[in-house]
Amino acid sequence: MSYLAKNYNRKKLSFVKGKGSYLFTSNGSKYLDFVQGIAVNSLGHAHPKLIKTINKQSKKLWHVSNAFQIPEGELLAKKIAKKTFADYVMFQNSGAEATEAAIKTARRYFFSKGKPNKNRILCIKNSFHGRTIAAIYASGSKKMTEGFGPKVPGFDHIQFKDFEPRFPNLKNKITKNTAAIMVETIMGEGGIKPIPNQCLKYLRKICNQKKVLLILDEVQCGIGRTGDFFAFEESKVKPDIVPIAKGIGGGFPIGAVLMTKKVASGMTPGTHGSTFGGNPLAMKIGNTVMDIVSKKVFLNKIKKNSQYFHKKLNKLKDTYPKIIKEIRGRGFLIGLKLQKDQTKFIEKLMNNKLLTIRAAENVVRVLPPLNVKKSEIDQAVKIINKVCKEY
């Protein structure tokens, strides 16, 4: 008998310990964890530097209200601003909280400019921005919104397929009331679908033309996941607002909204708050993750190792074209798009001690820790090969 609500479809598997890329069950079984809490444990399990940080800070100070100065948060915001497009950072606790705060920031900006009706957000149909009441309507997904009405107004949608180089339908969807376009740079839950660089560039251009803000949701694809600190960097596009979460806490719940100075002008004292957001313990941990992940050598290694992984996976795709249709994604945000439903494949990988997770469109999502070893990549490839062979 479980007293937990039944809102998850859980595997019959639990763990007592984690170390690096591995998880261990109570009977000592060892699993190669290429889920990592869905791109959350960016440095793997029980990273020694994170343990040290948490041990040290836990003896000093965990939580104080945002009514006071929090130097640990000041420092993390500074580090993020120095490394990215952002001028200001607003800390939260999760991805959904960050995407909603991003929407609030966009709306508030136009409100502060005397345009309160410029408040609509244009999103991609069946995207993913979290599970809170506004975020599900931002996604426009039937599966996520069904039974949770009334519909939250203020969101318009375009289809991903409209993200062809010239966006035939995009221009008509932008009205004088559109405040922002919000998209995931790489759609994660939606099946590991990157928005091509030339499309991102075009989005920026059209946002400038129509005086609309560009929100790039990097909750899953950001913080080094692609080998760049942000996935959008490759396109050279500069967004106005970027919600982040997942990877920045290395397993500790942290979210944040990054914004330019221009946009930040609307977020005056009292306009937004979060009780837990940005507390000293979270911020200390965020600092440690940031110090490691933002280093050029660390990012370059992600690029090198992930290219190696992609190459191996593409070889498997060529060997088993009847099973694997396509290798998607960038860096360590990888999708194996199968020809058919992926449920059984994921189960077989699990039986062979490799943990992966599903995404839409028959995709097996593969999310190793960013510091995964080459030998662990080899081990994963071997297991995927074995499962393909037996399939």
Q: Given the rule CB under 6 A, which residues bind ligand PLP?
A: 94-96, 99, 128-130, 184, 188-189, 217, 219-220, 245-246
Distance CA 112, CA 267 (A): 9
Q: Is 318 exposed, middle or buried (0-12, 13-18, 19+ CB in 10 A)?
A: exposed
Q: What is the DSSP letter of 47?
A: -
Handedness of CA 159, 331, 93, 263 (dihedral sign): negative
Residue 39 Cβ vs ligand PLP, minimum distance, rounded to whole Å = 7
Residue nearest to ligand PLP (CB): 95
The CA distance from 305 to 307, in Å, is 5
Identify which of residues 39 and 387 has a Cβ nearer to ligand PLP in the complex. 39
Residue 91, H or E segment? strand 88-92
Q: How far is the CB of 129 from ligand PLP (least distance, A)?
A: 5
Query: Toward ligand PLP, which CB reaches closer, 73 or 95?
Result: 95
Minimum distance from CB of 157 to ligand PLP (Å)? 16
CB of 227 or CB of 255, closer to ligand PLP: 255
Cβ at position 377, least distance to ligand PLP in Å: 23
Q: How far is the CB of 8 from ligand PLP (least distance, A)?
A: 12
Which is nearer to ligand PLP, 267 or 357 (by Cβ)? Answer: 357
- Cβ nearer to ligand PLP, comparing 247 with 266: 247
Closer residue to ligand PLP, CB minimum distance, 20 or 249: 249
Bridge partners of 344, per DSSP, are none
Query: How many whole angstroms separate alpha carbon 50 and alpha carbon 61?
Result: 16
Distance in Å, CB of 243 to ligand PLP, minimum: 7
Nearer to ligand PLP, 231 or 323 (CB): 231
DSSP H helices, 19-145, are 36-39, 48-58, 71-83, 95-112, 133-139, 142-145
Q: How far is CA 23 from the centre of its chain?
A: 22
CA distances from 305 to 65, 169, 269, 309, 387 (A): 41, 38, 44, 6, 23
Nearest approach in angstroms of CB 128 to ligand PLP is 5
Q: How far is Cα 365 from Cα 384, in angstroms, rounded to an integer?
A: 12
Distances from the Cα of 272 to the Cαs of 78, 119, 257, in angstroms?
20, 17, 12
Give the phi and the psi of residue 42 in degrees, each rounded to 5: -65, -25
CB nearer to ligand PLP: pick between 100 and 376: 100
CB of 336 to ligand PLP, least distance (A): 18
